[in-house]
């Protein structure tokens, strides 16, 4: 995690870096720092806290002038968040300065070696070790900065995206990547460096994404040279045209990114099926599936790997794939899968789901599956991300940038893509009739409008949130397709409001969680009319007789649950299979309003970061 930004060119670097860091705060926000070359010397300002704290601090500490600079927003790994551990870090001589996203795993042995050679360390970080290693190599080998970075990185075990410069040669910035993302924006005689393209989107649409094990030397007036870190071979830069625009990464009148992203779901879902769902022709067109149809049809099973919310989307997909396409599916936490010696064969298809496309465990699971010969398909949101590049084929969710740490539109668009895939495969396998296929296309096409309708309960949900905001625990129950939605609802609540919440399959309640129920326990029950309705009604009665407070998510016009529940939130009628796309909306709003009422930092909840690029 951590966000890094850099600039080299004719403009003032400071405002570009600060604005860029604000856009990257989703990647980490426990400390921040900036280093500038002001024409004569290196100026560094850094602090525990957010970029706003850095702005206040740098106001007093530095002149803020200079057209070369680097900045960092941190999610702590080695060393607690404090001023000293904040980046940038400076080498012992005071000449070299670095920012780093990632983890140097062998930093302890490197540090001991450097200490034995007289180096001293102020911080507890692995990054300070790396910059001194670079300095040591530069001195010992009498090489230029670029070469020293390369030699040092060849001694390093771990993951990194780094930017380094030497105050004695400030017209040159060296960057490198392994396992952590790094993009370079190419302007007119100016370069922007960042963990993703958002910090430079208003300056240029031309970007180079460094691949793993690549480094680049960027020189003012002279351009960029990319090399392989291992063998020094030159790489031809591939310049991509960015599609993103500034409005997409701004709040657009909403109080929080999370709320904006919840409200963007009708559009995000439409964008995701546009051009793929062709209702009039009664076909689904997905290049990644068409080109690899045999792999899917001959697969013994599909293994889905993901983390967090994406894992919940995977669980929904398990129901959909098995139901429609009759292909056996297993869903695994990427972090468990990769460490447990799983049985994978060439007849397996692995689907990796990730909003960011940078989640380290998911990436590692992909590499493992590939090494065993499985075909790997990615479902990612971020174009050009590591997972998108590492997979054999894939389908993007066209959700647009998701900035709030709590995933919302990523979840519903992932389910949309996975539903399209399952429908397409079901058609190819003949496990769905043509009339049923058409009915599903029609209904899926109507989902955005139904999401829009579901959003109209916002004020009612806010009122319910006010009643329950001070409780210590919540239970979420759902069955079938909506069991993963119960898990997702509970995750949303805990991550942004810090209220303990658990999701359960409703029928499992009797096997333990029922002991928790008393008059103080709110229980959110997803009780739509289609999915095992009568059984859910019985579960609600069991809760009622133990005095639990029931918040029912029901189909419009529901009568039975309304009589039993303390509150109901209505959603429009849809197919059971598509219902997670609607039932999730009130749960997102409930967690949002509770967190706001509790005055929590909704977009940047404590201890979290948007993309988890460490293992
Ligand atoms: O970028 P990814 O989809 O791979 O991220 C996976 C999880 O880290 C992510 O879904 C996380 O659980 C969110 N904070 C949930 O809201």
Give yes or no for residue 248 having a pLDDT over 80: no
309 CA distance to ligand 1 centroid (A)? Answer: 5
List pLDDT tens digits, range 366-375.
Answer: 999 999 999 9
Query: Helices (DSSP H) in 142-241: which residue ranges?
Result: 145-153
| 338 or 476, which is more confident | 476
Q: Which residues are designated catalytic?
A: 2, 610
Index of the ligand 1 atom closest to the CA of residue 308: 12
Index of the ligand 1 atom closest to the CA of residue 407: 16
Across 573-601, average pLDDT: 97
User: Which pLDDT value is given to residue 81?
Assistant: 87
Find out whether 587 and 465 touch, Cβ atoms under 8 Å: no
Confidence of residue 226 (pLDDT cuts 50, 70, 90): very high
Find out whether 422 and 280 touch, Cβ atoms under 8 Å: no
For 52, residues 6+ apart whose C-beta sits below 8 A from its C-beta are none
Across 295-308, average pLDDT: 96
Closest by CA to 272, choosing from 400, 384, 359, is: 400
Q: How many CB atoms lie within 10 A of CB 133?
A: 25
User: Which pLDDT value is given to residue 188?
Assistant: 93
Distance set, CA 53 to CA 36, 48, 609 (Å): 17, 8, 18
User: Which pLDDT value is given to residue 75?
Assistant: 83
Give yes or no for residue 244 having a pLDDT over 80: no
List pLDDT tens digits, range 2-56.
Answer: 899 999 999 999 999 999 999 998 888 889 999 999 999 999 999 999 999 999 9
Residues with CB under 6 A from ligand 1: 307-310, 354-356, 359, 362, 405-407, 491, 495, 608, 611-612
List pLDDT tens digits, range 490-540.
Answer: 999 999 999 999 999 988 888 888 888 889 999 999 999 876 888 889 889
406 CA distance to ligand 1 centroid (A)? Answer: 7
Angle at 503 between CA 570 and CA 455, to 5 degrees: 25
User: Which pLDDT value is given to residue 250?
Assistant: 80
Retrieve residue 522's tokens.
Answer: 């709110």
Give yes or no for residue 593 having a pLDDT over 90: yes
Mean pLDDT over each residue of the chain, to the nearest integer:
94
Retrieve residue 517's tokens.
Answer: 């129920």
List pLDDT tens digits, range 431-456.
Answer: 999 999 999 999 999 999 999 999 99
Across 553-565, average pLDDT: 94
Confidence of residue 238 (pLDDT cuts 50, 70, 90): very high
Confidence of residue 383 (pLDDT cuts 50, 70, 90): confident
Index of the ligand 1 atom closest to the CA of residue 610: 14
418 CA distance to ligand 1 centroid (A)? Answer: 17
Across 100-116, average pLDDT: 94
Q: How many CB atoms lie within 10 A of CB 328?
A: 12
359 CA distance to ligand 1 centroid (A)? Answer: 8
Confidence of residue 251 (pLDDT cuts 50, 70, 90): confident
User: Which pLDDT value is given to residue 531?
Assistant: 67
């Amino acid at each position: 995690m951590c966000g890094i930004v850099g600039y080299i060119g004719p403009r003032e670097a400071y405002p570009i870096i600060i604005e860029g860091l604000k856009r990257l705060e989703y990647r980490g926000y426990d400390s921040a720092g900036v280093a500038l070359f002001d024409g004569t010397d290196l100026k560094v300002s850094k602090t525990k806290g957010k970029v706003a704290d850095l702005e206040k601090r740098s106001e007093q500490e530095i002149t803020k002038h200079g057209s070369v600079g680097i900045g960092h927003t941190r999610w702590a790994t080695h060393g607690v968040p404090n001023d000293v551990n904040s980046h940038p870090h400076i080498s012992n001589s005071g000449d070299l300065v670095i920012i780093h996203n990632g983890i140097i795993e062998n930093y302890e042995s490197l540090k001991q070696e450097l200490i034995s050679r007289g180096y001293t360390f102020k911080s507890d970080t692995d990054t300070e070790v790396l910059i001194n290693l670079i300095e040591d190599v530069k001195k010992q080998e009498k090489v230029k900065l670029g070469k020293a970075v390369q030699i040092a990185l060849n001694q390093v075990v771990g993951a990194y995206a780094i930017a380094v410069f030497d105050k004695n040669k400030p017209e040159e910035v060296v960057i490198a990547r392994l396992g952590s993302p790094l993009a370079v924006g190419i302007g007119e005689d100016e370069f922007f460096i960042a963990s993703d393209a958002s910090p430079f989107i208003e300056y240029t649409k031309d970007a180079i994404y460094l691949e793993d094990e690549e480094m680049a030397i960027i020189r003012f007036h002279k351009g960029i040279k990319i090399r392989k870190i291992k063998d020094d071979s030159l790489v031809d830069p591939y310049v991509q045209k960015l599609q993103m625009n500034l409005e997409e990464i701004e709040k657009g009148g909403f109080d929080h990114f999370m709320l904006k992203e919840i409200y963007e779901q009708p559009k995000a879902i439409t964008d995701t099926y546009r051009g793929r769902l062709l209702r009039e022709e009664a076909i689904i067109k997905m290049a990644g599936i068409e080109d690899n149809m045999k792999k899917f049809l001959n697969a013994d099973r599909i293994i889905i790997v993901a983390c967090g919310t994406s894992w919940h989307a995977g669980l929904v997909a398990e129901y959909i794939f098995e139901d429609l396409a009759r292909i056996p599916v297993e869903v695994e936490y990427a972090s468990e899968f990769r460490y447990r010696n799983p049985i994978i064969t060439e007849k397996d298809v692995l689907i990796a789901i990730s909003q960011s496309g940078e989640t380290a465990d998911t990436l590692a699971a992909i590499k493992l599956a590939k090494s065993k010969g499985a075909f790997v398909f990615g479902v990612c949101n971020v174009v050009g991300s590591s997972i998108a590049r590492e997979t054999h084929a894939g389908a993007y969710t066209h959700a647009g940038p998701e900035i709030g740490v709590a995933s919302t539109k990523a979840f519903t668009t992932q389910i949309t893509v996975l539903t399209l895939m399952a429908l397409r495969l079901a058609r190819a396998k003949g496990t769905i009739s043509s009339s049923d296929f058409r009915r599903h296309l029609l209904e899926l096409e109507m989902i955005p409008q139904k999401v829009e309708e579901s959003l109209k309960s916002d004020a009612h949900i806010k009122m319910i949130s006010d009643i329950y905001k001070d409780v210590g625990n919540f239970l979420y129950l759902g069955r079938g397709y909506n069991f993963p939605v119960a898990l997702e609802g509970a995750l949303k609540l805990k991550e942004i409001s810090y209220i303990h919440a658990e999701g359960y399959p409703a029928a499992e309640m009797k096997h333990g969680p029922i002991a928790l129920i008393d008059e103080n326990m709110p229980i959110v029950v997803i009780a739509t009319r289609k999915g095992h309705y009568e059984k859910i009604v019985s579960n609600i009665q069991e809760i009622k007789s133990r005095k639990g407070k029931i918040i029912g998510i029901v189909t419009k016009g529901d009568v039975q649950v309304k009589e039993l529940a303390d509150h109901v939130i209505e959603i429009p009628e849809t197919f059971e299979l598509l219902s997670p796309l609607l039932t999730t909306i009130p749960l997102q709003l409930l967690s949002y309003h509770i967190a706001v009422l509790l005055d929590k930092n909704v977009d940047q909840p404590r201890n979290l970061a948007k993309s988890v690029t460490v293992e």
